[in-house]
Amino acid sequence: MLLRWSRAKTKEYENVQIENFSGSWANGLAFAALIHHFFPDAYDYKELDSKNRRRNFELAFKTAEEKADVYPLIEVDDMLLMKDKPDWKCVFTYVQGIYRKLH
């Protein structure tokens, strides 16, 4: 259900293809697209670059916290260390928090 919800909210976004709660979120664009869906005036999604992972995570996590009161359960540095295989439990838990606040 949560995976389906995430896909539905990000289906119109370039470079976002959510297949799981691990690698699909690795470059930060899925988080950025999901948050942008609810707060389109917060930033210009089209200016984001999949190679600038730090910026993508920071922007998404900061916006979620400021606009939706969703505390970032995942540290940006941890996401960067996990590279292309983030811990799916961490990603799932954070996305679940977003869902609870914005669904």
- CATH number of the domain that 30 lies in? 1.10.418.10
**pLDDT value of residue 28:** 98
**The predicted structure's pLDDT at residue 92:** 97
Cα 12 from chain centroid? Answer: 15
Count of domains forming the chain: 1
Task: Say what the pTM is.
Answer: 0.95
**Whole-number pLDDT of residue 98:** 97
CA gap 28, 77 in Å, rounded: 12
pLDDT band at 1; cut points 50, 70, 90: very high
Among positive and negative, which fits the CA dihedral 76, 77, 79, 84? positive
Given pLDDT bands bounded at 50, 70 and 90, which one contains residue 73?
confident
For the segment 13-69, what is each residue's pLDDT rounded down to a tens digit?
999 999 999 999 999 999 999 999 999 999 999 999 999 999 999 999 999 999 999
State which residues form the domain around 65: 2-102
